[in-house]
């Protein structure tokens, strides 16, 4: 039995090699950057032999789905080169949805089925074609039944995909204005002198776009 | 009655009670206070004497009042209810009176306290668990070997609800601002007119030059007339068109400048 | 040797089990988020049995520095909790939660789906502004289905992220859940004399909350 060599300054024996291997495995897994031998050693208890443990660990991962390899000066886990194709779909760029899109989406979710004109009334500005197209393309909204009013405008409703993304069981589970306010999601800081926000439900939309200020 | 009880009370207990009063802001409501008071009984919550607890609570309220400490309304509501409960527990049951017995009410209160204590215990156990990012960790360098690049637009439920809340309360405090939806911009009018002018060999009313969808609705028409008129002035200045008006307020006509 | 069952529609035999294991290992190593069986399967060639391969993989990592665990419907590699002290560099300081927020979280977890009124009844105090907001923002709770009682209040349930954060395979594994249920502390008991709690008119959402998890 060969005992790990303990430097004289340490009061405790170094952990067994298998344990040192575990430690390095965890460190390299959790690190955002490849770790050099010196960095690894500095994080291990006194008396550890990181170089030897790395050799063992590398052997252990040989032929596995991930391998332990050198990256520059450091060590890191990487996907086995032959499995790179599995990672192909992984690259997705995430961008925040524009304010126009999120507002349009919110109106559709709360008022569905909603026509384009209704969305514009609530937002008080025109809805660009691109915004609707984007939401349709994302599969968050879809066309609902045509409204039985003059012009038979198309309506929009939210999709299953939308519910799935936002973790909702149904669009009816969205909290109403009153509930939003109670949950502190809605800052009721009114302008000085402005009337207090009315306690309305999501159903009775006052539909008061600023545009009517200009109506004759 | 509470004075008798006060004098019988040990000095230690009274000190504790006074400390409670000073710390009244530290309590999260009457149930929390009751739970704290119940600890002085030093028994299992299941065997707590609700009658004693009611006495303690009422004593607490009494002393807080004598010290002129403002108590929130729900503490007083609880005091009233406990006083009612106390009378139910002390008086022999009135057979003509309907409703639950004092014992039933007391049992329910004890159960509520036990439940609150239980939720606190499990909350502590929950927070005492190993936690991600503190005790265990996810992959620090997730790999994303890209071939296909796809843009995914991200929005959270909070964003969605906030957007809606913002829209629906905007009218409450939105400062006065021009709404741009019915504004036909000058740039658009100029671009449109410049493109159409080469075909305008005859005098045509300015009205006829207004874009589709901007006629009829007064607000929109007004804006379209204004910007189109401004555009005609610019084109006239550039020598591309001629303008004609037969009288004040008469319709304005324009055509391509001859020789252009 | 048992060959993996290949669905008849596939022209190619599924890769051997050891290879499937490698592929899943690569996929799960590459992702910081738990991946569901469906997500994993979608990336594997036809005919693979991801469920079986996961069992093998989990066994392989038992006792290692990194272990494979279940998180709700998903699977993820996480460092072994006993090695957390090695990861000071990676530690993320989480916002300190108020006592109210912690209790609210626990009540939602143990009573889910829970309405705001139920949380308030248990704590005996109003849920302060921002508490729910904070828990939603941390992605530890989400909206459940509305309760089918008068007023149709919104409900809250815990998320996969909550399970992942606290290292729970499912909400059934919450500490002490069984004891609480047996002690009747998760029952919806109304104050004697008060109107009984309204029964949901939808048969598939009983008010018993978590306790239903144990019903056989």
Same fold, A17-82 and A99-214: yes
Share of chain C above pLDDT 70, in %: 85
Supply the pLDDT for residue C1: 45
φ/ψ region of B110 (left if φ > 0, alpha if ψ in -120 to 50, else beta) reads alpha
Q: Are A95 and B155 in contact (CB < 8 Å)? A: no
Mean pLDDT of A166-192: 68
Q: Name which of C162, C156, C152, C157 is nearest C202 in CA terms.
A: C152
- A214 pLDDT above the threshold of 50: no
Task: Please report residues of A whose CB lies closer than 8 A to that of C154.
Answer: 173-175, 179
Q: How big is chain B, counted in residues?
A: 260
- A133 pLDDT above the threshold of 80: yes
Share of chain A above pLDDT 90, in %: 37
Give residue-wise pLDDT tens across range C42-63: 889 988 999 999 999 999 999 9
Q: What is the distance between the terminal CA atoms of chain C, rounded to a whole angstrom?
A: 37
Cβ proximity of C148 and C202 under 8 Å: yes
The residue assigned the tokens 């992959």 is B139
Q: Does A171 touch chain C (CB under 8 A)?
A: no
Q: For B133, which of C92, C97, C124 is closest by C-beta distance?
A: C92
Q: B244 vs chain A: nearest CA distance in angstroms?
A: 29
**Count of H-run helices and E-run strands, chain B:** 9, 4
Suggest the residue from A17, A18, A22, A176 to mutate for an interface test with chain C (most C CBs closer than 10 A).
A22
Q: A87 vs chain C: nearest CA distance in angstroms?
A: 7
The domain defined by C99-214 folds into Arc Repressor Mutant, subunit A (1.10.10)
Q: For C176, which of B116, B122, B139 is closest by C-beta distance?
A: B122
Q: Does C176 touch chain B (CB under 8 A)?
A: yes
Q: Are C176 and B111 in contact (CB < 8 Å)? A: no
Q: What pLDDT band is residue C196 in, cutting at 50, 70 and 90? A: low
| Residue C30: both structure tokens together | 């590459």
**Rounded-to-integer distance, Cα B229 and Cα B172, Å:** 36
Cβ proximity of C24 and C54 under 8 Å: yes
Q: For B162, which of A79, A185, A190 is closest by C-beta distance?
A: A185
User: Bigger pLDDT: A129 or B177?
Assistant: A129
Supply the pLDDT for residue C90: 79
Q: Name which of C123, C191, C180, C188 is nearest B107 in CA terms.
A: C191
CA A149 to centroid of chain Cα atoms: 40
Provide φ and ψ at C157, rounded to 5°.
-135, 165
Average pLDDT for chain C: 85
Provide φ and ψ at C153, rounded to 5°.
-70, 150
The residue assigned the tokens 């993996």 is C4
Task: Please report residues of B whose CB lies closer than 8 A to that of A79.
Answer: 143, 145
Q: Are B119 and C30 in contact (CB < 8 Å)? A: no
The residue assigned the tokens 């965890």 is A26
Supply the pLDDT for residue C103: 95
**Rounded-to-integer distance, Cα A3 and Cα C74, Å:** 42
- A85 pLDDT above the threshold of 90: no
Average pLDDT for chain B: 80
Mean pLDDT of B83-109: 84
Chain C residue with minimum CA distance to A165: C142
Q: Are A169 and C143 in contact (CB < 8 Å)? A: yes
| Listed range (B30-39, C8-17, C26-35) with the worst mean pLDDT | C8-17
The one-character DSSP state at B136 is: B
Task: Please report residues of C whose CB lies closer than 8 A to that of A66.
Answer: 25-26, 29
Pick the CATH number of C17-82 from 1.10.3860.10, 1.10.10.10, 3.40.50.2300, 3.40.50.2020: 1.10.10.10
Task: Please report residues of A whose CB lies closer than 8 A to that of B162.
Answer: 185-186
HEC string of chain A equals: CCCCCCCCCCCCCCCCHHHHHHHHHHHHHHCCCCEEHHHHHHHCCCCCCHHHHHHHHHHHCCCCCEEEEEECCEEEEEECHHHHHHHHHHCEEEEECCHHHHHHHHHHHHHCCEEHHHHHHHHCCCCCHHHHHHHHHCCCEEECCCCCCCCCCCEEEECHHHHHHCCCCCHHHCCCHHHHHHCCCCCCCCCCCCCCCCCCCCCCCCCCCHHHHHCC
- A201 pLDDT above the threshold of 50: no
Supply the pLDDT for residue B259: 63
Task: Please report residues of A whose CB lies closer than 8 A to that of C83.
Answer: 22-23, 26
Q: Are C123 and B28 in contact (CB < 8 Å)? A: yes
Task: Please report residues of A whose CB lies closer than 8 A to that of C29.
Answer: 29, 65-66, 77, 79
Where are the alpha helices (H) located in chain C, listed in sequence order? 17-30, 37-43, 50-60, 99-111, 116-123, 131-137, 160-165, 177-182
Its pTM stands at 0.63
- C112 pLDDT above the threshold of 90: yes
User: Bigger pLDDT: B222 or C197?
Assistant: B222
**Rounded-to-integer distance, Cα B5 and Cα A94, Å:** 68
Q: In C, residues 34-73, which contact B (CB 8 Å cutoff)?
A: none
Q: What pLDDT band is residue C169 in, cutting at 50, 70 and 90? A: very high
Give residue-wise pLDDT tens across range A186-198: 554 433 333 333 3
Characterize A46-69 residue by residue with b for buried, 16 or more Cβ atoms within 10 angstroms of its Cβ, and e for exposed.
ebbebeebbeebeeebeebbbbbe
Taking residue C135's Cβ as centre, other Cβ atoms within 10 Å add up to: 22
Chain B residue with minimum CA distance to A30: B140
Cβ proximity of A153 and A143 under 8 Å: no
- A141 pLDDT above the threshold of 70: yes
Task: Please report residues of B whose CB lies closer than 8 A to that of C183.
Answer: 114, 118
Supply the pLDDT for residue C200: 53
- Domain borders along chain C are 17-82, 99-214
Suggest the residue from A171, A183, A201 to mutate for an interface test with chain C (most C CBs closer than 10 A).
A183
The residue assigned the tokens 């969605």 is B160
Q: What is the DSSP secondary-structure string of B12-66?
A: HHHHHHHHHHHTGGGS-SHHHHHHHHHGGG-S-GGG--HHHHHHHHHHHHHHHHH
Q: What is the DSSP secondary-structure string of C6-40?
A: PPTT-SSPPPPHHHHHHHHHHHHHH-SS-EEHHHH
Supply the pLDDT for residue B13: 67
Angle at B257 between CA B252 and CA B259, to 5 degrees: 160
The residue assigned the tokens 């039995």 is A1
Cβ proximity of A53 and A17 under 8 Å: yes
């Amino acid at each position: 039995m060969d005992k790990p060599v303990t430097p004289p300054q340490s009061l405790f024996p170094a952990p067994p090699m298998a344990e040192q291997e575990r430690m390095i495995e965890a460190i390299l897994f959790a690190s955002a950057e490849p770790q050099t031998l010196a960095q690894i050693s500095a994080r291990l208890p006194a008396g550890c032999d990181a170089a030897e443990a790395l050799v063992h660990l590398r052997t252990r991962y040989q032929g596995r789905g991930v391998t332990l390899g050198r990256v520059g000066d450091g060590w890191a886990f990487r996907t086995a080169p032959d499995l790179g194709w599995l990672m192909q779909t992984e690259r997705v760029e995430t961008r925040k949805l524009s304010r126009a899109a999120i507002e349009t989406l919110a109106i559709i979710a709360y008022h569905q089925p909603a026509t384009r004109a209704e969305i514009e009334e609530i937002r008080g500005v025109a809805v660009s074609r691109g915004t609707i197209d984007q939401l349709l393309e994302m599969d968050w909204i879809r066309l609902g039944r045509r409204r039985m009013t003059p012009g038979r405008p198309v309506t929009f409703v939210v999709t299953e995909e939308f519910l799935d993304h936002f973790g909702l069981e149904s669009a009816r589970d969205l909290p109403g204005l009153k509930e939003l306010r109670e949950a502190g999601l809605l800052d009721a800081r009114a302008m000085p002198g402005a009337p207090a926000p009315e306690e309305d439900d999501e159903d009775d939309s006052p539909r008061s776009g600023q545009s009517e200020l200009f109506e004759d | 009655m509470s004075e008798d009880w006060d004098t019988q009370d040990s000095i230690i207990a009274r000190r504790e009670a006074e400390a409670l009063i000073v710390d009244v802001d530290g309590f999260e409501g009457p149930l929390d206070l009751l739970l704290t008071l119940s600890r002085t009984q030093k028994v299992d919550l299941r065997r707590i004497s609700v009658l004693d607890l009611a006495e303690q609570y009422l004593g607490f309220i009494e002393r807080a009042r004598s010290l002129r400490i403002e108590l929130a309304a729900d503490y007083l509501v609880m005091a009233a209810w406990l006083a009612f409960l106390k009378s139910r527990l002390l008086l022999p049951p009135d057979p003509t009176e309907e409703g639950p017995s004092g014992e039933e009410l007391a049992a329910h209160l004890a159960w509520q306290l036990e439940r609150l204590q239980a939720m606190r215990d499990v909350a502590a156990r929950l927070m005492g668990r190993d936690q991600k990012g503190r005790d265990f960790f996810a992959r620090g360098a997730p790999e994303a070997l890209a071939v296909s690049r796809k843009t995914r637009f991200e929005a959270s439920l909070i964003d969605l609800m906030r957007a809606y809340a913002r829209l629906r309360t905007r009218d409450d405090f939105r400062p006065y601002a021009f709404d741009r939806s019915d504004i036909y911009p000058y740039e658009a009018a100029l671009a449109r007119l410049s493109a159409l002018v080469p075909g305008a060999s005859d005098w045509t009313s300015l009205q006829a030059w207004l874009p589709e969808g901007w006629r009829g609705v007064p607000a929109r028409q007004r804006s379209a007339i204004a910007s189109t008129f401004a555009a005609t002035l610019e084109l006239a200045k550039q020598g591309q068109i001629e303008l004609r008006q037969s009288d004040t307020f008469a319709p304005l006509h324009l055509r391509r400048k001859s020789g252009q």
